[in-house]
Amino acid sequence: MAYTTIDKSSTHFVQGEYSGNGATGRAINTGLDLSSGGLQVAKEWSDDAGAWFVNDSERNSGTKYLQFESTSAGAVDTNVITSLNNNGFTVGNDVDINDSGDTYIHMGWKAPTSSGASGYGLTLDSYKINTTSKFGIYKYTGNGSGGAYITHGLGGTPAFALVKKINGTTNWRVYHQKLGATKHFILNDIQGAYTDNSMWNDTAPTSTTFTFGSSSSTNGSGDEYIAYIWCEVAGFSKFGSMKSADPAFVYTGFKPSFVSARSDTNNTGEYIWFTDNPSRSFNRQGRCLFPASNAVNYDYTDSNSVSFLSNGFYSNKGGSPFANSNQTFYYWSFAKAPLVGSNNVPCTAR
């Protein structure tokens, strides 16, 4: 059984949806306290194209956004996500974030603590961490030398990271523990894994450090970066891989709220499914989004989709990302509820 120290996932991570109303200064009350620090993501979930908005507490107090699908250094826009609050976040009236009648998806991670981390070689400008959910946000300035690292302070070994330069254009670099320290994915493209020792300096993260190489994408001299880093927590988060299969069952130890998966195969990309799915309120999960694109969602049929179970997820979807012949798929997922909490109460499927 996957017992966990986090009985209520929504204390640290919330995924949900909201309907737009076109009003400026509209509060999206998620129940998650981001006032001391955190990461908030939102995107159009209806039948219109719309950008991803990625805001965190360490860049302009949450008002400067990045976009998963873009190499841009980001921008401040008072009409999109405008603040991170003690009960969620606030949005403006941009049609990509709050158009009347449209539906939007959101994900938020809490990170309230500003002690316990430091930088070696590079300069750690600011950070916020959560030592319970083992998630950290780190804003740093690179030094251009391989072997620079962050003493992350999370109390576990990092399993997954998203890293982005924020003072110039570059791709989103993805560290995944199952790929190892010589490879990475690019979140905003649809290719398989890239081999490049200069990204992570061919050095796996440890229980105390996360290391960068000399690449200008993660550690250019004088360049500024943001890194979102997660460790696995039993019953709350999972970052794994599996040989392709059709059907495929992945045991996570919890009922998923969010599943993102991609195959190590060119021209496939990453797919994201959510438990709050406006296309249906039951299994199977047909509708998904793609982080490499601002395009509309795609609805798969019941015979070609994903189901969220009490202990993981199941796919009978042929082809990408789960069933590419002789390939491996990689996933990251967060819990709606643990399979069994510390109170010994089991959860149910969707």
Burial of 326 (0-12, 13-18, 19+ CB in 10 A): exposed
Model confidence, pTM: 0.94
- With cut-offs at 50, 70 and 90, classify the pLDDT of residue 349: low
Residue 286: helix, strand or coil by DSSP? coil
Ordered alpha helix ranges (H), the chain: 95-98, 197-200, 216-219
Residue 137 tokens, joined? 């946000």
Distance (Å) of CA 213 to CA 58, 71, 166, 337: 23, 20, 17, 37
Q: What is the mean pLDDT of residues 235-253?
A: 92
Q: How many angstroms from the chain centroid is the CA of residue 237?
A: 11
Rounded Cα–Cα distance for residues 74 and 125 (Å): 18
Rounded Cα–Cα distance for residues 321 and 88 (Å): 32
Q: What is residue 344's predicted lDDT score, i.e. its pLDDT?
A: 42
Render pLDDT for 16-58 as a digit per residue (tens, 0 to 9): 999 999 999 999 999 999 999 999 999 988 777 788 999 999 9
Whether residue 238 has pLDDT greater than 60: yes
Q: What is residue 343's predicted lDDT score, i.e. its pLDDT?
A: 46
Whether residue 158 has pLDDT greater than 90: yes
pLDDT cut 70: percent of the chain above it? 89
Render pLDDT for 271-321 as a digit per residue (tens, 0 to 9): 888 875 555 555 566 578 888 887 766 666 666 678 889 999 988 876 678
Residues 6 or more apart in contact with residue 215 via CB below 8 angstroms: 173, 196, 198, 199
Burial of 68 (0-12, 13-18, 19+ CB in 10 A): buried
Residue 302 tokens, joined? 């019941």
Average pLDDT of the chain is 89
Whether residue 3 has pLDDT greater than 50: yes
Q: Label residues 21-34 b or e (16+ Cβ within 10 Å = b).
A: eeeeebebebebbb
